[in-house]
Amino acid sequence: MTDQAYNFAYLDEATKRMIRRALLKGLAIPGYQVPFASREMPMPYGWGTGGVQVTAACLTPEDTLKVIDQGADDTTNAVSIRKFFERTAQVQTSETTAEATVIQTRHRIPEVALTEGQILVYQVPIPEPLRFLEPRESETRRMHALEEYGLMHVKLYEDIARHGAIATSYAYPVKVEGRYVMDPSPIPKFDNPKLGGNAAIQLFGAGREQRIYALPPYTDVVSLDFEDHPFDPSKADHACDLCGSEVSYLDEVITDDKGSRIFVCSDTSYCTTRQDEGHTGRLSPEGEAA
Amino acid sequence: MFEAEVLSGGFSNPAQDSARAFRACLDAMARPGRIQQIAGAVPPAPLSPAAGAILLTLADATTPIFIAKSHDTEAVRRWIAFHCSAPVVAASDADFAIGTWDALQPVSQFAIGTAEYPDRSATLIVECEDISAPTATLSGPGIETTQTAYLPNLDAFVANSAQFPLGFDCYFTAGNQLSALPRSTKVEAL
């Protein structure tokens, strides 16, 4: 079913031009947050209004769209956004990472390495990495202008003083091309190494906060750390109970009120592909493979 | 005849054509120096189809345009006025500038943004005879190792990238082809 009453990809052309100009300036200044006039979307803030606007501005009729929410293709948020663009842009959709040309993501980077033809669109709640350290936008903007990032290192140091290690486990701050400190959106720090040197174009949209930023392919992205406390992209120390993967990021699922739990891949497309290829985990129906 | 030339030459299917043209602009800006194909616009000469498509995709009433001497004809002005509704302004006030490299001189007249808002800078659309013969080696964001590309000048772009994060960004257009050079790219002689 199509909705002829709406323009292609929902947004009007003037809005798309405004978003497109912001995206291009974002690519020209990697890691810098470009203000844009975010629109009301037919979904509440926090459900990916920024990502949806960026996706709408990028989609062409030839694209194949994949949408993931914390790695999963089949959660409410992901299914709703996929249906939204099926109706308003008549694009193909897919759950397979390799088939997609545009991937909108909430809080994960797919396990499978992305390629040159792909665009990864992040939904971002708080784009300003310094926001919880300095609430005033006028001040954080000046801090970025002056490259004054000492406060962020103090925060990481306080983590070490209090917990013995850097306790930040998601939305872990990165420095882009040695210049801008950037919030990678609330991806687990396990995904941080995939931000740099990625073959795909990475675009970030924050709807409520009205900011767009971007990483061109093969950009130099470094997770902030200290020489004696180097960055550690940690994950749960288990294998996936369904596909046996020991390298993927895992969700811990509580299965009853006696403390039983299982670990499964957060990237559902990766996990199902592996299961289809015959990989098995601890709970696979075939038996005790792992 | 004149009216017809002014009123025609826009995207025949605006939403879809501008989406495809934008993806060419996006790929170009994300991968500096790599040549992309862009289509859909038939602007009056001397405006190239690529430059016309960029303007149709990105320019509107909110983006003042500077038209350099090389392209400042009645037909071009009226075509831009009809299809983009963009005001034509002096170089220092422009979001977009269109012209040959020589006509755009001195490039120091264009906005390079401010320390707090480096995005408030001009985008130059530099019309070229041919962009297929490389004259420079590029490196930086968007480039895995190095990339060779045509540039109309070297020193101006070395100086521009030295101002990072300030600076202007460029599109180079010839016929239906375009390539881009953001301020973040490091430029060396071939």
A217 lies in the same domain as A240: no
The reported pLDDT for the residue numbered A290 is 43
Closest residue by Cα to residue A37 from A8, A15, A12, A6:
A15
A162 lies in the same domain as A274: no
The reply to whether residue B123 touches residue A179, judged by beta carbons under 8 angstroms, is: no
Task: Examine residue A165 and state whether it is found in any structural domain, yes or no.
Answer: yes
A217 lies in the same domain as A244: no
The reply to whether residue B143 touches residue A218, judged by beta carbons under 8 angstroms, is: yes
User: What residues of A are in contact with residue B182 (Cβ under 8 Å)?
Assistant: 27-29, 216
Mutate to test the interface with A, among B13, B20, B26, B145 (most CBs of A within 10 A): B26
Class of the CATH-defined domain B2-189: alpha beta
Distances in whole angstroms, Cα of residue B173 to Cα of each of A146, B28, B38, B114, B125? 35, 11, 10, 27, 7
Nearest residue, CB atoms, A141 vs list B116, B121, B164: B116
* CATH number, domain with residue A103: 3.40.50.11310
A179 lies in the same domain as A219: yes
A68 lies in the same domain as A201: yes
A137 lies in the same domain as A256: no
Task: Examine residue A5 and state whether it is found in any structural domain, yes or no.
Answer: no
Q: Mean pLDDT for chain B?
A: 95
Task: Examine residue A89 and state whether it is found in any structural domain, yes or no.
Answer: yes
The reported pLDDT for the residue numbered A289 is 46
Task: Examine residue A4 and state whether it is found in any structural domain, yes or no.
Answer: no
Q: Is the pLDDT of residue B88 over 50?
A: yes
CB atoms within 10 A of CB B28: 28
In degrees rounded to 5, what are phi and psi of residue A102?
Answer: -125, 125
A157 lies in the same domain as A178: yes
Task: Examine residue A183 and state whether it is found in any structural domain, yes or no.
Answer: yes
Q: d(Cα A142, Cα A148) in Å, to the nearest integer? A: 8
A88 lies in the same domain as A211: yes
Distances in whole angstroms, Cα of residue A25 to Cα of each of A5, A21, A282, B58, B117? 31, 6, 48, 12, 11
Task: Examine residue A8 and state whether it is found in any structural domain, yes or no.
Answer: no
Task: Examine residue A135 and state whether it is found in any structural domain, yes or no.
Answer: yes
Distances in whole angstroms, Cα of residue A262 to Cα of each of A114, A241, B38, B127? 28, 7, 51, 60
- Which domain does A280 fall in, by range? 235-290
Q: Are B68 and B104 in contact (CB under 8 A)?
A: yes
Place of tokens 């006025």: B81
Among positive and negative, which fits the CA dihedral A97, A100, A101, A102? negative
Q: d(Cα B104, Cα B183) in Å, to the nearest integer? A: 17
ipTM field: 0.97
Contacts of A107 (CB under 8 A, 6+ apart): A69, A70, A71, A123, A170, A185, A186, A187, A188
The reported pLDDT for the residue numbered A3 is 56
* CATH number, domain with residue A255: 2.30.170
Q: d(Cα B47, Cα B70) in Å, to the nearest integer? A: 9
Q: Per-10-residue mean pLDDT for chain A, 290 residues long?
A: 77 97 98 96 91 97 96 94 94 95 96 96 96 95 97 94 92 96 96 96 97 97 95 91 94 92 95 94 68
Q: d(Cα A244, Cα B158) in Å, to the nearest integer? A: 51
Q: How confident is the model at residue B134 (pLDDT cuts 50, 70, 90)?
A: very high
User: What residues of A are in contact with residue B58 (Cβ under 8 Å)?
Assistant: 17, 20-21, 24
The reported pLDDT for the residue numbered B54 is 97
Whether B140 has its CB under 8 Å from any CB of chain A: the answer is yes
The reported pLDDT for the residue numbered B2 is 66
The reply to whether residue A23 touches residue B165, judged by beta carbons under 8 angstroms, is: no
Distance from CA of B74 to the nearest CA of A (A): 25
Contacts of B159 (CB under 8 A, 6+ apart): none
The reply to whether residue B165 touches residue A29, judged by beta carbons under 8 angstroms, is: yes
CB atoms within 10 A of CB A169: 11
- The ranges assigned to domains in chain B are 2-189
Q: What one-character DSSP code corresponds to residue A192?
A: G
A126 lies in the same domain as A200: yes
CA nearest B96 in A: which residue? A21
The answer to whether residue A58 is catalytic is: no
The reply to whether residue A219 touches residue B116, judged by beta carbons under 8 angstroms, is: no
User: What residues of B are in contact with residue A210 (Cβ under 8 Å)?
Assistant: none
| Overall domain count for chain A | 2
CA nearest A22 in B: which residue? B119
The answer to whether residue A271 is catalytic is: yes
User: What residues of A are in contact with residue B26 (Cβ under 8 Å)?
Assistant: 20, 23-24, 27, 58, 119, 201
The reported pLDDT for the residue numbered A161 is 95
Q: What is the pLDDT of residues B19-77, one digit of tens each?
A: 999 999 999 999 999 999 999 999 999 999 999 999 999 999 999 999 999 999 999 99
Phi/psi region, residue A14 (left: phi>0; alpha: psi -120 to 50; beta: rest), is alpha
**Which of the following is catalytic: A48, A51, A244, A271?**
A271
Task: Examine residue A140 and state whether it is found in any structural domain, yes or no.
Answer: yes
A158 lies in the same domain as A285: no
